[in-house]
A and B are shown apart, each in its own frame.
Chain A
Amino acid sequence: MFNGSGTLSRSLAVLVALFILIPMLLVAVMSFGQGSSLRFPPQAYTLESYAAYFKSRSWTIPTLNSFVIGALSAILALAVTTPAAFAFTLYDFRGKRLIRLLVMMPLMVPFIVMALAYFFFFGQIGLLNTMAGVIIAHACLAIPIVFLIQSASLKGFDWTLVRASQACGAGAFTTFRRICLPILRPSFLVAGLFAFISSFDETVVALFISGRAASTLPRRMFESVRQESDPIVAVVSTLLFGAVAAVALVVALRQRRAARPANR
């Protein structure tokens, strides 16, 4: 009875899904190709580019830098933001709205504006082209993400558990360590992961402030795409896409496993 429009919407959706998917699959094909990184289809297929990626220090060092910067900026963002998320759920205080806006600011300001701001600021205090500079910048940019995730999870937190713990004689620190932390662990992990990925994927700020010394993977990819026709960029893109696909697969399988008992 509803066949007409149902088929139409579904075929449209499938077409758009192909538009989303095909470019990513194309890159995977490119990564096995030989020769120029911009010719499609490639003339021959090899694994040479993969070997070249793992052998080339100009690629492995930025990769390592990105992991280190991502991890440290995520930890920094978690450490400074989590107490604020507690303050926002536990207390009412003057200027709450304004401070919330301040904490969310890094999400609102365009990255290119911050790139210019940090380029100038770090130039003055001598942190330009250093790992520390990129870590600080990325930690600031991750604060709103961590704040949103942590406050959302704290909203559902059962504070009677804290009162119960304190009634049993536990101090604030013990309560935090033995009660809050285990219950909130998933939220810590998710917030940390999001902060890590936002840093790992961040290109614009890193492009201008990381320099050669602290070059991140996106910066290396950007330069590679702009200047050379280096097939390694296809390898890196494929590895990144492969990592996402693997995580998606694991999550999907887990959800299915979790859903199964409910179906029975």
Chain B
Amino acid sequence: MATSRMYAEDNFKASRQFWHGAIRAARPWILLLPVLTVIIVLFLVPLLGILRLSIQGEDGYSLASYATFFTDSFHLAVLGRTLGVALIVTLGCLILGYPVAYVAARYAGGLGTALLLIVTMSFWTSFLARTYAWMVILGSQGLISNLARALGFEPPQILFTGLASNIGMIHIMLPFMVLALFAVMQRIDRTLLRASEGLGATRFQTFRRVFLPLSVPGMINGCAMVYIVCLGFYVTPELLGGPRDQLIARQIGSQIEQLLDWREAATMAAVLLAVTLVIYAVYDFFFGLDRLWRS
């Protein structure tokens, strides 16, 4: 009798412990439940819907649309152009952004602050506003054309060409690059630079042998970010670019607008997604994604 009561009490304790343990183990999941529900139901399901759409044929699932995509020279050209344009814009941003970030990091006084202020303001300004600004500058009635006419020669067509679209994208992505570079340059140990100069290196040598190598992580971060965004850039190429320089995002956009071929649009989107995720995976393998998001 007594033993069985003890037994029951033990049982009760054990079960209470079990439940407490279970609740403790479940606690993070209770906190995670809202975000997981939203991400899965309202983000992942639509995204996977695209993938399903791309493999859905008339009779069952097939990869035929991918075969079509990768054998069609037009689509391959669009994909190649997208990768190439993203590279050009990324390099343009790096070349233009590096001096700005460098000066902002090294001359903390008036000039550095002013540069950072301009870059940050541009970063926060609606990129449609900035795209529109380039239409005004490059248009046939715009700043450059009227300047050329005033100087007495016929201006070339710039707006609605690949060049205009590249300039606009560089202008829009430049703040990302500068801020990514600056975040790393700011943390470079000043005493190393002073040591180098103290040992008799010229300022250029100090820059090339000490500062530049230490700023490489910023260059990698900035380039990865700019390149990835450029791959999926829709608005600026659509507004500034010409009809002949199609990029993959514009192709997807025009498919949606004209409600043409769902399957083809979904296939292009899946390819774009795959390329983007491969770049993320490569970055993650070498550097770890956390570093990209910290800035």
Contacts and interface: CB of A to CB of B under 8 A. Distances in A.
Given A116-B252, A117-B50, A121-B49, A136 B39 contact: no
Interface string A31-56: 00000111111000000000000000
A75 interface: no
Interface string B12-29: 000000000000010111
Interface string B258-295: 00001001100100110011001000000001000100
A23 B131 CA distance: 9
B108 to A, nearest CB: 12
Given A16-B97, A104-B293, A113-B252, A84 B46 contact: no
B128 A120 contact: no
A58 B124 CA distance: 25
Interface string B26-62: 0111111011111110111111011001000000000
Q: Is the interface of A mostly helix, strand, loop or mixed?
A: helix
A27 B129 contact: yes
B96 A16 contact: yes
Contacts of B106: 9
Contacts of A36: 141
Nearest to A240: B126
Interface stretch (B3-11, B65-73, B111-119, B215-223): B111-119
A20 B49 contact: no
Given A23-B130, A80-B35, A13 B47 contact: no
Contacts of B128: 203, 218, 221-222, 225, 237
Contact of A105 (B31, B43, B207): B43
Contacts of B47: 105, 109, 113-114, 117
A170 interface: no
A115 interface: yes
B55 to A, nearest CB: 14
B121 interface: yes
B256 interface: yes
A196 interface: no
Contacts of A225: 128, 131-132, 135, 239
A79 B34 contact: yes
B176 interface: no
A131 interface: no
B232 A20 contact: no
B158 interface: no
Nearest to A6: B203
A31 to B, nearest CB: 10
A80 B276 contact: no
A245 B124 CA distance: 9
A234 interface: yes
Contacts of A104: 289, 293
Contact of B120 (A37, A90, A234, A248): A248
Nearest to B99: A12
A87 B256 contact: no
Contacts of B255: 116
Question: Interface residue tally of chain A, by bracket?
Answer: 35 or more
A91 interface: yes
A244 B45 CA distance: 36
Interface string A54-83: 000000000000000000000000011101
B63 interface: no
B137 A112 contact: no
A229 to B, nearest CB: 9
Interface in B168-192: 171, 174-175
Given A81-B35, A140-B43, A233 B234 contact: no
Contacts of A238: 129
Interface of B: 25, 27-32, 34-40, 42-47, 49-50, 53, 96-97, 99-100, 102-104, 106-107, 111, 113-115, 117-122, 124-137, 139, 141-143, 146, 171, 174-175, 197, 202-204, 207, 228, 231-232, 234-235, 238-239, 249, 252-253, 255-257, 262, 265-266, 269, 272-273, 276-277, 280, 289, 293
Given A105-B47, A207-B235, A221-B129, 15 more contacts: A6-B203, A10-B111, A17-B114, A17-B115, A19-B96, A40-B141, A87-B32, A102-B44, A143-B43, A197-B124, A208-B256, A208-B257, A233-B132, A240-B126, A244-B124
10 contacts: A27-B129, A30-B136, A102-B36, A109-B47, A110-B273, A111-B232, A111-B234, A113-B252, A201-B126, A222-B235
